[in-house]
């Protein structure tokens, strides 16, 4: 599973000006940017189309499949590992998407903890086992209680890890302790940070990378930080961590994801497309705050010289 180590961008889904359709040309541009940043430095290791950052809850079934297809076609063309967002709170739909991702040629799938239903641990265990049985493709379980209202315990993850198709966990509980316990309990499962501010701490306890939001803005810098950390050079990795930390910490708290990241992309002269309702544009106060965070991280200066 060495191709699950590194930086995987939870890529935005660009929409046209009124949010009625996916802007496919713009999406392809974003994939190219992730693989080949203008700085000439290394891009990310992979992409995750149709995650939360990709506004998955408001994509139709056909749109979801089309974005995955484009991610696979152009991501793999550029040497990127593609982890297709295929989760659902509807187990039957998650099974359908797991099968589709396998047929379409994805490398792995990302399957989120069922949201709104609030299943107990046994329900989540059965859900993920059923999904993993549906198609022979590796599953990254996405543990994010803050959005799903139900989180997986370490004990349940350890039970799931016995399935040969459950190969990774996106750890987005906001707890380094939870990540550390998961890593210790599941030595054969790749654990990646799902929270940009915690990427470096999670790698320090045995994590192998990040599914990142801010790499939409700075794929080369997030890749540099993670490469240094995975090589054991935490002092050098911390320099990049410190520079990006305020942006990583605040971008998702000022506005719901991906409002903040799409706002920051526009500040950097990049087209992330419009948002789709019920998400609305950032407030004036948030725009000012995001602008200050982007400048503090040095991203506008970097974009100007690229």
List 65, 108, 125, 170, catalytic entry:
170
Of 273, 269, 279, 275, which is closest to residue 23 (Cα–Cα)?
273
Strand locations in 153-247 (E)? 166-171, 190-193, 209-212
* 170 noted as active-site residue: yes
Contact present, 99 and 76 (Cβ < 8 Å)? no
Q: Please give the Cα distance from 206 to 190 (Å, whole number).
A: 9
| CA distances, 17 to each of 14, 66, 71, 275, 278 (Å) | 9, 19, 21, 8, 15
- Tell me whether residue 42 is one of the annotated catalytic residues: no
> What is d(CA 15, CA 264) in angstroms, rounded to the nearest whole number?
16
Q: Are 44 and 9 in contact (CB under 8 A)?
A: yes
Catalytic residue among 125, 142, 224, 262: 142
* Residues 185-222: b if buried by 16+ CB within 10 A, e if exposed: bbeebbbbbbbbbbbbbbbbeebbbbbbbbbbbbbbbb
**CA–CA dist 111, 44 (Å, integer):** 21
- DSSP one-letter code for 85: E
| Alpha carbon distance 231, 237 (integer Å) | 10
Structure tokens at 52: 């939360």
Helices (H) and strands (E) in the chain, counts: 13, 8
Q: Which residues are catalytic?
A: 142, 170
């Amino acid at each position: 599973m060495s191709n699950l180590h590194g930086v995987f961008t939870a890529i935005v889904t660009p929409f046209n000006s009124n949010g009625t359709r996916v802007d496919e040309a713009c999406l392809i541009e974003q994939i190219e940017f992730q693989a080949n940043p203008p700085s000439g430095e290394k891009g990310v290791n992979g992409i995750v189309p149709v995650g939360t950052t990709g506004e998955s809850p408001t994509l139709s079934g056909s749109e979801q499949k089309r974005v995955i297809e484009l991610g696979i076609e152009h991501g793999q063309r550029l040497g990127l590992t593609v982890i297709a967002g295929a989760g659902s709170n509807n187990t039957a739909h998650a099974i359908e998407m797991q099968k589709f991702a396998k047929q379409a040629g994805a490398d792995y799938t990302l399957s989120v903890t069922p949201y709104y239903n609030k299943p107990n641990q046994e329900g989540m265990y059965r859900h993920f086992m059923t999904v993993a049985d549906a198609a022979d493709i590796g599953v990254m379980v996405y543990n994010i209680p803050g959005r799903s209202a139900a989180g997986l315990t370490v004990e349940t993850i350890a039970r799931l890890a016995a399935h040969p198709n459950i190969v990774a966990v996106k750890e987005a509980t906001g707890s380094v302790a939870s990540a550390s316990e998961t890593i210790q309990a599941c030595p054969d499962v790749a654990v990646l940070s799902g929270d940009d501010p915690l990427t470096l701490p999670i790698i320090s306890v045995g994590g192998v990378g990040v599914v990142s939001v801010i790499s939409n803005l700075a794929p080369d810098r997030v890749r540099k930080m993670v490469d240094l950390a995975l090589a054991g050079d935490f002092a050098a990795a911390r320099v990049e961590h410190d520079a990006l930390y305020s942006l990583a910490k605040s971008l998702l708290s000022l506005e719901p994801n991906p409002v903040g990241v799409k706002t920051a992309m526009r500040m950097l002269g990049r087209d992330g497309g419009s948002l789709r309702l019920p998400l609305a544009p950032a407030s004036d106060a948030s725009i000012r705050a995001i602008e200050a965070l982007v400048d503090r991280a040095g991203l506008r200066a970097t974009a100007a010289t690229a």
